[in-house]
Structure 1
């Protein structure tokens, strides 16, 4: 492997990263329909030709952006979930505290640019290629859902929750503990006071445990 060859590959990788960073910023700010390759090129500090050397068209670029962004955020959310749910002490109070901690974390997303992109997707869903939507769902939300389903299935096997469909149970937990905050804040766009978030999460977890406690 020559030094020149290594440098060229590194340069191509750097250009690709710059394109994806610029595209994420533009898609999150402008949405899919209003975003243009010219805008993305200016944001990324590259030429439009450079973008087309890496991506077939705007749809292909968008699909890559949403997949990579969703993957990063899913990994962060799963790591946070595991921190609260992977090793829960014995007894119902320990489980309740773990679910409360998970709910508070899930209700307050930290990846602002990614969730700005999610808001744009929701606003323009009819104009976005179906392949991009499917890639986003599979790489992000469904992956997080599967991880939560695994934790709840384990709690059921241990007798800490009653037997039920763990996938549906996971959906119920997210809706009860974090759904109101998510809808009120539009995925983090509008502030919700921390005290209100704590109350919403606590009420939701209480309702969840009333439904699923053994």
Structure 2
């Protein structure tokens, strides 16, 4: 008897979590498409596949929808970027780091320039006056956490003698800037070309 009750409660909890995620995903899609001012809760409910009152049962107002939708998207983007960086975990201590760094560079460039990543940056900045801390939160979750993860991986390469002794956080920052900087000036350049160039410059500075 208690097992059935527990299972039912578990299904209810999972259902609520899934509905909330659907609402956040739908809200992000609508806000990215229309912007904050033009988006409406009715359209968000339709995008999420739920009734309008269900949206308000999970998130009390449009402001909460906006903030939590952008933050959830930032978390997802940050996790994708960290997953790319974590590919450096499997680099053998005695191997040349160029190939794995190039693989990571290509993966990060795709993540940096994805449609969702561009939408998150735009939404965080567009309503800066109304949500002054949102851009800071997005930066923390999509940029600073990635830099921290990359610094940890680079520190291990330094300890293995594959990179010269350095401040790993500064090295990680330099690597990321070498990737993101050209996107501002050459947005139409092939990502692989930008990634290869970034790794080449990075290893000239930090390679052994």
Q: CA deviation at 1:147?
A: 0.6
In structure 2, the residue matched to 1:88 is 91
1: CA distance, partners of 2:192 / 2:199: 10
- Contact persistence 1:33–1:127 (CA under 8 A): no
Deviations 1:65-101 (Å, cap 9, x if unpaired)? 2222222232222222222x11223557x21111111
Q: Which residue of 2 aligns with 1:105?
A: 107
What displacement does 1:119 show? 4.1
Stretch deviating more after TM superposition (29-38 or 198-207): 29-38
Q: Matched residues in 1 for 2:192 and 2:113: separation?
A: 20
Match in the other structure for 1:133:
135
Secondary structure of the corresponding residue to residue 130 of structure 1: coil
CA distance in 1, matches of 2:65, 2:158: 42
Q: Structure 2 CA distance, aligned partners of 1:44 and 1:76?
A: 23
Q: Tell me, which stretches of 5 or more residues in structure 2 are unaligned?
A: none
TM-score (norm 1): 0.78
Cα 1:116–1:66 change in 2 (3 A) is: same
Deviation by residue 1:100-147 (Cα, 9 ceiling, x = unmatched): 111111111299452242242265153451343333233332221211
Report how many residues are paired: 204
State the Cα distance separating 1:20 from its structure 2 match: 1.4
- TM-score between the two structures when normalised by the length of structure 2: 0.80
| Maintained 8 Å contact 2:73/2:120 | no
- Asked whether 1:208 is paired with 2:202, we answer yes
- 1:22–1:44 CA contact under 8 A, matched in 2: yes
Structure 1 gaps, min length 5: 186-191
Give the alignment of 1:7-18 within 5 angstroms: 8-18=12-22
Distance 1:91 1:136 in 2: 37
